[in-house]
Amino acid sequence: MKKIFIGIFMLTVLATACKKNKDDVRPPEENTTYRDIISSLGFDPNKAVEQDDHYLVEGDIIFTKKELKSLKEQSGEGLQLRLNQTKYKWIVSDTYIGNVKVFIPSTINPSWQTAVRGAINNWNTLTNTKIHFSEVTTSSTANIIVSEINNGNITDVASASMPQQYSATDTRPGSSLIVNNYYLYLGSANLLYTATHELGHSIGFLHSNQQYNASSGSQIPNTPLAGFDPKSVMHQYSQPWEGFTNGDRRAAEALYLKPGAATTPSVVSDQLQILYRYFINGRHYISYSNQEYNGQYLEGPIGKIYKYPVPNTMGIHHLYNTQTGDHLYTIYKSEYKYPFEDRGVIGYAYPNSGEANFVPLHRYFNGIDHYPSRNGNENPSGYVYEGVSFYLLPHEL
């Protein structure tokens, strides 16, 4: 099934869920400059699509050309791997966050009107935060104005703009939310998710499953890795609305907690994740799910790891050999070398026994396949023992 993308930001950045770049025609000089700035912000410039007075980036982010010029002097910091939810460089000032005013013109498709109103209600359920949206009846009093398009040539279900800073004490919500009527067929639950997602962009939340440059945003502590929180409202792909996850709640609290309000607790079941081992086409790999390939190639659970960094743990990187198809899971930077590419952190584990009940995950290698096992005496035929990869918690606990 085709993945449908949803929105992120505009510095007055508009966010519109990802879109394919069909004709990447670059008139010389000026476009190159804009794309260089886009690249320096940590985005892929080859996936930036020019649209009139702005560029569509990452399928749902709009940077106006004026804003790109203003950002030129601010760009250039290094790209950071986003391990969890991320906030934009600016979040909305207290003056506005307690009453973000949304104008929904009567000409907007009724299904989208319902979705945006539902999204307003969704954010207003986070009563331990300062976040509150309201609908207004005139555009002149609004912080956010909803508009619509009907375009099946793009995969953008909707888009929204990110907060804009006017002074050190005056940062306002993103001013635009654009909905795409072509995707009405997705149904009310998807439209509600998308509208809620876009309002999240308008108050400073970036996608929870992508990378950004350090000059564009920063990680929100105590929120889960994207792979552990696929239902997050800030995940990039449109899906049916099922409510805010605990990760979403903690992210909102980290940015906009009401003074004296309680935070969403992090419970043990939310901190740990079972890993499963698969074997297909002569290669082993690890997954969070036991339902891939309908379980046909599943060899079973191998243990639990932390979703978040805790004291003395290290990130487990998934390295993929682009030449042999080998999957290697390691906490050691010395192993990040060609032809392996780093596909990101899958979780956190101890480099040693850590604490009571933690056990080693052993590693074997046969020249083309790394085989992770809890059994240090397994000695599978044709494989050589390479030692302990890291320590995890037995899945039985």
Q: List per-residue pLDDT tens for the chain, 397 residues long.
A: 234 555 544 433 343 333 322 222 233 334 446 776 776 555 667 777 787 777 766 666 666 677 666 555 443 333 333 346 788 989 999 999 999 999 999 999 999 999 999 999 999 999 999 999 999 999 999 999 999 999 999 888 999 999 999 999 999 999 999 999 999 999 999 999 999 999 999 999 998 866 666 667 777 876 766 555 778 899 888 899 999 988 899 899 999 999 999 887 655 556 788 899 999 999 999 988 888 887 789 999 999 888 877 778 888 999 999 999 999 999 988 888 889 998 888 888 889 875 656 889 999 999 999 999 999 898 899 999 999 999 988 877 5
CA 302/CA 395 separation, integer angstroms: 7
CA 90/CA 218 separation, integer angstroms: 10
At 25 the pLDDT is: 29
With a CB cutoff of 8 Å and minimum separation 6, the contacts of 395 are 274, 275, 301, 302, 303, 304
At 20 the pLDDT is: 26
- The partner residues of 217 in beta bridges, in order of sequence, read 88
Q: Tokens 């046909």 label which residue?
A: 296
Q: Quick check: 268 and 37 in contact, CB under 8 A? A: no
> The tokens of 124 are what?
């207003």
CA 68/CA 77 separation, integer angstroms: 15
At 74 the pLDDT is: 41
At 344 the pLDDT is: 85
At 252 the pLDDT is: 95
> The tokens of 145 are what?
């104005």
- CB-count exposure of residue 129 (10 Å: 0-12, 13-18, 19+): buried
Comparing CA positions, the residue from 132, 160, 129, 130 lying closest to residue 144 is 160
Q: Tokens 């020019």 label which residue?
A: 50
Comparing CA positions, the residue from 175, 164, 157, 165 lying closest to residue 102 is 175
Strand order in the sheet with 283-287: 283-287, 272-280, 298-306, 340-349, 314-321, 327-330
Q: Quick check: 108 and 140 in contact, CB under 8 A? A: no
CA 227/CA 306 separation, integer angstroms: 12
Q: Tokens 């494989």 label which residue?
A: 383
CA 66/CA 319 separation, integer angstroms: 39
Q: Quick check: 162 and 201 in contact, CB under 8 A? A: yes
CA 233/CA 244 separation, integer angstroms: 6
At 273 the pLDDT is: 85
CA 10/CA 382 separation, integer angstroms: 54
Q: Quick check: 7 and 15 in contact, CB under 8 A? A: yes
Comparing CA positions, the residue from 102, 98, 188, 97 lying closest to residue 146 is 102
At 15 the pLDDT is: 38
Q: How far, in Å, are 16, 41, 170 from residue 220 at the CA level? A: 22, 18, 22
At 253 the pLDDT is: 93
272-280 vs 298-306, strand pairing mode: antiparallel
Q: Quick check: 286 and 329 in contact, CB under 8 A? A: yes
Cα 324–Cα 327–Cα 333 angle in degrees, nearest 5: 110
Q: Which residues of 37-47 are buried (b: 16+ CB within 10 A; e: fewer)?
A: bbbbbbbebeb
Q: Tokens 């992210």 label which residue?
A: 251
Amino acid in position 234: M
- CB-count exposure of residue 104 (10 Å: 0-12, 13-18, 19+): buried
Q: Quick check: 86 and 220 in contact, CB under 8 A? A: yes
At 167 the pLDDT is: 94
- The partner residues of 394 in beta bridges, in order of sequence, read none
352 Cα distance to chain centroid: 30
At 214 the pLDDT is: 60
3-state SS, residue 242: coil
